[in-house]
Amino acid sequence: MPPPVVGIDLGTTHSLVAVMKGERPELIPNRFGKRLTPSVVGIDKNGQVHVGESAKNQLVSAPDRTVMEVKRIMGSSQKVSLGDRSYTPQEISGFVLKALKEDAERALGEKVVEAVVTVPAYFTDAQRQATKDAGALAGLKVERILNEPTAAALAYGIDHLDKEQFVLVYDLGGGTFDVSVLEMFEGVLDVKASAGNNHLGGADFDQAIAEWLMQAAEALGLELRNDAKAKARLKVAAEAAKIELSSVMETHINIPFLGVKDGEPVSLEIDLPRETLEKLLGRHLESTLKPIETALKDAKLEKATVAEVILVGGSSRIPMVHQLLEKFFGKAPRGGVHPDEAVALGAAIQAGLKSGAIKSGNSIM
Ligand code: ADP
Ligand code: MG
């Protein structure tokens, strides 16, 4: 057996690693048993590097020793200062990749030295090269850089290569929104056009909900605008409520001892129905239709010509996203894959083709 080649989704907010198990791609859980590793790097008081959940946990208490969203500056000459040193974006991403590599090695019980790593379709050569360099720093040979929408299409099983067709990939993540139109032709999946909004994603939705909670707290007489810790707790509660409302119609938010009024601790307890959430997020979500129109126009396509709409990114799990897209395209988006896992699974499929773990058959090379 050749050593496994893993597939890695190196995301702005989360990263994932997957591998082929027989004929199917499978996610590899991290050291905490989670499939998603926050793309956050922190250095603790002893100079020890932390990646993921433990780094995310020190964001509020040690912001000067913690960095997130480094993907936004990949390929630039900007430096990141962390504790008493500064790092290149490649070094920071390298820490994330190294953690994923180690988690994969632990789970698979063997060395991992090669990976397929995904990047947004719009990444420049410099950004792609920086991503490869990050891999090298982590001890990984980046065998191939794959476009995220292409990876997602692979995961959704877009492999009817006999047909010539167009698919649209709608990727709403933690901090970015990307839409890509792909053409399938003679065995090749080609990105024809891409558009999006580099500053729209789940973090904005959390912010909108946290602001709504802040107003509820103010109605109780709490003044928290200068209280970083209270604001961080509102954000955490906001994200949890948002995620829950993707599967239930109403959620109850309870934040004990959020602040103090007249010397007494005050807790915040409030119901958040999905309807209210949709009012808070509606404007943001409706704004994603515009880049879709732009991408279709650039690809010289009518929306009726799109054979499949593919959902990617954790935020595309919001039911209102499905409703908006179904209304816009006149058909439901393709289902069957967890949208936040699709890119990593597709990267593993590509990696499997390379290492011979699956037969290339009629799949996309
Ligand atoms: P990225 O590609 O930017 O790293 P992800 O695809 O991992 O991002 O998406 C992360 C975002 O998805 C976060 O803002 C998270 O809160 C959101 N998210 C995850 N699951 C859900 C859900 N079930 N409903 C709504 N939002 C979700
Ligand atoms: Mg992503």
Q: Following DSSP, what letter does each residue of 274-327 receive, concatenated?
A: HHHHHHHHHHHHHTTHHHHHHHHHHTT--GGGEEEEEEESGGGGSHHHHHHHHH
pLDDT at 365: 37
Ligand 2 mean position, distance from CA 225 (Å): 31
Burial of 320 (C-beta count, 10 Å sphere; 0-12/13-18/19+): middle
Residue 76, helix vs strand vs coil: coil
Q: Which amino acid is at 259?
A: G
Whether 101 is in the pocket of ligand 1, judged by its Cβ within 6 Å, is no
Determine the distance separating the centroid of ligand 1 and the alpha carbon of 165, expressed in angstroms.
Answer: 29
Q: How far is the CA of 323 from the centre of ligand 2 (A)?
A: 21
Please indicate whether residue 242, judged by its CB atom, sits closer than 6 Å to ligand 1. Answer: yes
Give CA–CA dist 313/95, Å, rounded: 22
Q: What is the tens place of the pLDDT at every residue in 335-357?
A: 889 999 999 999 999 999 877 66
- Nearest CA owner, ligand 1 atom 22: 243
Q: Please say if the pLDDT value at position 133 is more than 50.
A: yes
pLDDT at 356: 66
| Integer angstrom CA distances of residue 163 from 123, 152, 167, 184, 282 | 28, 18, 12, 8, 36
Averaged pLDDT for residues 318-323: 98
Query: How far away, in angstroms, is 152 Cα from ligand 2 center?
Result: 10
Query: What residues have CB less than 8 Å from 273, skipping those under 6 apart?
Result: 249, 250
For the chain, give the mean pLDDT: 94
341 lines ligand 1 (CB under 6 A): no
**Is residue 300 classed exposed, middle or buried when 0-12, 13-18 and 19+ CB atoms within 10 A define those classes?**
exposed
Taking CA atoms only, the protein residue closest to ligand 1 atom 19 is: 314
Which amino acids are annotated catalytic? 9, 71, 148, 171
pLDDT over 50 at 216, yes or no: yes
What mean pLDDT comes out for the span 311-331?
98
Measured in Å, residue 170 CA sits from the centre of ligand 2 at 11
Q: What is the mean pLDDT of residues 297-304?
A: 97
Q: Which atom of ligand 1 is nearest to the CA of 203?
A: 14
Q: Whose CA is nearest to atom 23 of ligand 1?
A: 243
- CB of 202 shorter than 6 A to ligand 1: yes
Tell me which residue has its CA closest to atom 24 in ligand 1.
243
Ligand 2 center–CA 315 separation, angstroms: 10
In this prediction, residue 186 has a pLDDT band, given cuts at 50, 70 and 90, of confident
Closest ligand by atom to 69 CA: 1
| Both structure tokens of 27 | 């996610």
Is the C-beta atom of 11 inside 6 A of ligand 1?
yes
Q: Is the distance from the beta carbon of residue 128 to the nearest atom of ligand 1 less than 6 Å?
A: no
Q: Is the pLDDT of residue 188 over 90?
A: no
| Whether residue 316 has its Cβ less than 6 Å from ligand 1 | no
Testing ligand 1's pocket by substitution, the residue of 197, 243, 337 carrying the most ligand atoms inside 8 A of its CB is 243
Q: Which ligand is nearest to the CA of 284?
A: 1
C-alpha closest to that of 167 among 148, 189, 197, 188: 189
Measured by CA distance, the residue closest to atom 12 of ligand 1 is 314
What is the atom index within ligand 1 of the atom nearest the CA of 202?
Answer: 14
How confident is the model at residue 364, as a pLDDT? 40
1 has pLDDT over 80? no
What's the average model confidence in pLDDT over 12-34? 96
pLDDT of res. 361: 42
